[in-house]
Amino acid sequence: MSLDEILENFTYLDDWDDRYRYLIELGRTLEPLDEAAHNDVNKVRGCASQVWLETSVSRDPSERPVLRFKGDSDAHIVRGLVALVLAIYSGHTADKILATDAQELFQSLGLSGHLTPQRSNGVRSMIERIKTDARMAAAHVS
């Protein structure tokens, strides 16, 4: 699902119980992560729940690195947060990833004020992991 569709759907949901249910539904739309990818290399540190992010890098026609992510979590709402983070970042160039402020988007959706501190820390850890991968990919441009 595209980020624009997700944002539009959020605007129709006034009740936070409905928004949490929607996040759970988003998590169900994640492309399955191979069991072998549930490993220490892909595990995101700093999340209370278990979260895994698998990164692949390709090049666009201008030879800029484009990063794609797959993710998973053992918690339903966190899987939804993974889906939202991937909708923001996956399929973009390293430069765009580094320039995108997901925290601002989370605030505009009201998520920042409705997530537990542990979940907020987990989201920050996911975003930092994605940005670290983008920095590494950008550094390897020859």
Q: Which residues are catalytic?
A: 47
Q: Which residue in this structure is represented by tokens 């020859």?
A: 142
Rounded CA separation 72/63 (Å): 29
Strands 51-59 and 65-73, how do they pair? antiparallel
Question: Contact, 44 vs 122, CB < 8 A?
Answer: yes
State the alpha helices, DSSP H only, in 12-116.
Answer: 16-28, 76-89, 94-99, 102-109
